Structures are given as structure tokens and as C-alpha cells.
Amino acid sequence: MRAMVYRGPYKIRVEEKPKPRVEHPNDAIIRVVMGAVCGSDLHLYHGMMPDTRVGTTFGHEFIGVVDEVGPSVQNLKPGDRVMVPFNVFCGSCYFCARGLYGNCHNVNANATAAGGMYGYSHTAGGYDGGQAEYVRVPFADVGPMVIPDWLDDEDAVMLTDALPTGYFGAQLGSIAEGDAVVVLGAGPVGLFAARSAWLMGAGRVIVVDHLDYRLEMARTFAHAETVNFAEHDDVVVHLKRTTDHLGADVVIDAVGAEADGNFLQHVTAAKLKLQGGSPIALNWAIDAVRKGGTVSVMGAYGPMFSAVKFGDAFNKGLTLRMNQCPVRRQWPRLLEHIQAGHFKPNDIVTHRIPLEHVGEAYHLFSAKLDNIVKPLIVMDPA
């Protein structure tokens, strides 16, 4: 089969790989119809995540058609059109029993630190991902869901990570009616978090980024106020001034480990690898939220050390909430929102790129060219 293959930082290509096979009675083999490139895939592409092994196929956002199932699978059959959450989870451990699918204890040799994910580094289990013609899906009865007939493919693939994660970010903010909510980052997760904040009662939503075309989408898609941090000497001071000098009630970090905005943090993280990523967005969140406020972290960070201003968080009495999104848990409510017209998830899709040109998708997304916001990987463009 054809699959995207990682060959080192900034080096990916499409190669022939063996088609995956059923390895356990609970497995399913999915013929991928459509995938997406996530901002957290760029951390792998840039060599930021430890134990990202040559030969790995990325891609934790994908939908497809069931090609084969193991003998124990009860809920799927060949031919079913399914969406697959990015979490690999067993559905029965201590954490899954509590709906914490992103923290499953049975799917990763490194389970005390992280759950399992498709197409990520071996710190997340080492599962091949869906930027390929086929993918093996373990625990097929508890992860995938048959896509409702009324939901189109592009909206469905947005439900495998970007939309649930943005929605979850707003949920973790515990937004109260009238709250001022700042979202750092106008990428897909930030846009969905901003739009979700309104549904949870926000009185103001302010999106911060430095790319004007993405801020324009924040205004039109998420109906948010916007701030270009590059236009301010100190964006935290500006945010304080616009929130009664107290700070926002809730700040959502939708940026993660490769934030722009601080040269020293960038050099120590991306160039010298002295920390697990630039925490400048998280530090801005800690500084920009009011005392007693809540910081929700949805941007991806790796397992290594980062220079986070924990003392400021302590002295301000902040609540810091974060986790990998338990995607499957979000679906019932999000499907209701989509049916009610509160979301049209594929409104943020800007590029549809065939698998053969997946390298171009990563290049455009990494360099923020051609006004890219969300690229899809299409298996059969015809």
C-alpha cells in the first residue's frame, strides 16, 4: 500500500509499505478515505518529539471504510463508513471507565506518562497512522463509530481531533456566563475553541495570533475580537488593558510547543533542544489570566522539561487544566451541535491534497504558506 513515511526532520515521502493485517481478534483494518495534517504532526515533522522513529507513518485524524475485522469485533462490519478518534484506548481500564480515553493504561508501554495515539512518536505507543491507504485499528469495538448518513466526510474527519479538542479546551475553561475568554492561537483547534466558548456562555472572545489571514478567519468563523501580538511590544499588557486591567477570566492555550513570540524560548527549544518546546504561549496564558482564573491547555507539549512560570501560576491562585481530549466522549454532544447548525466543521478546511503530494501539505502547513489553515489528505481525489 502507499503510505506517508517519516525519514527524519523535514523529510517525509510516500512509499510502499506492507498492508496492515489483523493482529488481534479485536482489530479492524480501515481503508482510509480521508485524513488531515494536524498542528501536532508538525512537532514530529520538525523533530521536536522524542522517539519519533524513521519509517513511522503519521496521521491521527482519519476516516475510512472497514475493510476487515477480527473475529471478536461485534460493532463493525466490512463496508461500514467510520470515523476513528485519535486516541487508541481499551475501553475497560481504570481511566477508560471514567471516560479518560486519552489516558488509557493498556495501549502504551509508556502508559504511566501518556496514553496511545495513532501516527505519533513511540512515546504515544508507536502506532502507525492514517496518512496511508490502510491502517490497523485496535479495540475496534470501542474507538471507531459508524458515521451518520447525514454527516459528510470532511465534517467527519474534523470530528476525529480538531473540533473535539477545541471544544474540550473550552470545556476545561469552566466558562461562566459573561466571561472574557482569550484564545492563544488561531489554528484549527484555536478556532474551534473560540467558537465553542460562545456556546458555553462567554461574554467576550479574543483570539491572539500573528498571522493576519488566520485572524481574519477568527473574526469570520469564530466571531471573535482579534489581536496580532506582533503589533504590540507586550501582548500581555495589551490583553490586561482590554480586560479591565484584571486579566481574562479564562485563557486557552491552543498553540503548544512551537510558539512564536519569544526569540530566546525559540532558540532554546527548537534550535538547542534544551527544553521540550517553547512555552511562551503557556507563559502568556499564565500572565494574561486574572488572579483566580483558569488556564486551559490544548496545545501539544512533549514529555521533556519546559520553562513554565509555575511560580506566577501559584501566586495568582490559578486553576490549570489540561489533558489529551477524550474524543469519543465528545461526539454525542458535538453531533447535536452540528445538526443544530452551531458548527459546520469543514468551514476551516483550506486545502485538499492527494496522498502522493503529502510532502507539499507538510511544507505549506509548516511554513504557513498560501493562507493555509487546515489541510486534508485525500486518498482518491477522483
- Segment 76-112, tens digit of pLDDT: 999 999 999 999 999 999 999 999 999 999 999 989 9
Region 31-42: mean pLDDT is 96
Determine the pLDDT at residue 261: 60
Query: pLDDT-derived band of residue 271, with 50, 70 and 90 as boundaries?
Result: low
331 pLDDT band (50/70/90 cuts)? very high
3-state secondary structure of 182: strand
- Rounded-to-integer distance, Cα 339 and Cα 357, Å: 33
pLDDT tens digits, 53-63:
999 999 999 99
Is the pLDDT reported for residue 336 higher than 90?
yes
Helix (H) or strand (E) holding 7: strand 2-8
pLDDT at 264: 59
Q: Which bin fits 262, alpha (ψ -120 to 50), beta or left (φ > 0)?
A: beta
pLDDT at 272 over 60: no
Find where cell 493562507 sits: 371
The total number of residues shown for the chain amounts to 382
* Global pTM value: 0.94
Per-residue pLDDT tens digits for 171-214: 999 999 999 999 999 999 999 999 999 999 999 999 999 999 99
Say yes or no to pLDDT of 266 above 90. no
pLDDT range class, residue 301, cuts 50, 70, 90: confident
Instruction: Read off the amino acid at residue 203.
Output: G
Closest to 34 in 3D by CA, of 163, 138, 136, 133: 133
> Is the per-residue pLDDT at 265 higher than 60?
no
Query: For residue 362, which of 115, 36, 7 has the smallest C-alpha distance?
Result: 36
pLDDT in tens, 275-290: 556 688 999 999 999 9
Q: Which residues pair with 48 in a beta bridge?
A: none
3-state secondary structure of 217: helix
- Residue at grid coordinates 482510509: 32
Q: At what angle do helices 188-199 and 162-172 cross, to 10 degrees?
A: 50
pLDDT of residue 16 exceeding 60: yes
- Residue 269 pLDDT more than 80? no
Give the pLDDT band (50/70/90) at residue 148.
Answer: very high
Q: For residue 238, what are the contacts with CB-CB under 8 A and spacing of at least 6? A: 227, 232
Specify the amino acid at residue 14: V
